[in-house]
Structure 1
Amino acid sequence: MVTDQQHKPTESELEILQILWDKGNCTVREVHEILTLEKEAGYTTTLKLMQIMHEKGLVKRDTSAKTHIYTAIVNQQKTQEQLVTKLIDNAFNGSAARLVMQALGNHQSSKDEIEAIKEYLDKLEKQQ
């Protein structure tokens, strides 16, 4: 079996993985319907992407029924960690602080999110 280390998902594959991580098992039609809420995409494009993802070992496919059911194989947490590490290394010269400041400066955070960030920073500070 292919590990998530060997094949990092593309942007389009990540969109599909997000749906599978959120919903669990899905048909191509279900994934496609969710994708088209955000952007224009053809059904055959979604189907082909999911077939490629199966070949790459990102998803598994249950073919026991007429309608194939897909499930994410790669772990969401591990995949996110790998992508963030790569982003920090490549775009922020290894500085997690610069990434966080950029992210907070570019996006509106809710009071709950800011409070959660503060609590996390306090927890990190206590560990040091």
Structure 2
Amino acid sequence: MSKLKPVPTTTELNLLNILWKIQPATVKQVHECLSKTQTSGYTTVLKMLQIMHEKGLVSRDESQRAHLYKAHDSQTQTQSSIVKDLLSKAFGGSKFNLVQRALGESASKDEINEIRKLLDSLEEKK
């Protein structure tokens, strides 16, 4: 049985979002980017990246003194994993219920038109 990667926590996602923009990156670079939007200590960022490495969320190049971190999976792959997890846990696997809840009454007319185009293109592929 293959070991599944855990779904990233909110904090881990914050760090992954930084890595997807600037990777590969040192702890210092990640910390500097994070510091623009929230307060966090350097050692906290270091510890989080170490934990994320243990979980398989990031890879680490240890060939230089300052280790370089990189997201293991692409942003799209990670988003897909999160959606699959949410779909399974909160919506019993129903994509319809997930979309219905996500859209609710808050979708703009432009968003609805874009979604309609997406659905049309998906339907054409089948």
Partners in 1 of 2:121 and 2:18 — Cα distance?
Answer: 31
Q: What runs of 5+ residues in structure 1 fail to find an aligned partner? A: none
Alignment CA distance shift 1:123-1:32 (3 Å): same
What number of residue pairs does the alignment pair up? 125
Helix, strand or coil for the counterpart of 1:70? strand
State the Cα RMSD in Å.
2.6
Alignment CA distance shift 1:36-1:119 (3 Å): same
Partners in 1 of 2:109 and 2:23 — Cα distance?
Answer: 27
Partners in 1 of 2:55 and 2:101 — Cα distance?
Answer: 32
Q: 1:8 — aligned with what?
A: 7
Q: What runs of 5+ residues in structure 2 fail to find an aligned partner? A: none
Alignment of 1:1-128 (within 5 A): 5-105=4-104, 111=110, 113-128=111-126
Q: TM-score, normalised by structure 1?
A: 0.77
Partners in 2 of 1:63 and 1:124 — Cα distance?
Answer: 43
Q: TM-score, normalised by structure 2?
A: 0.78
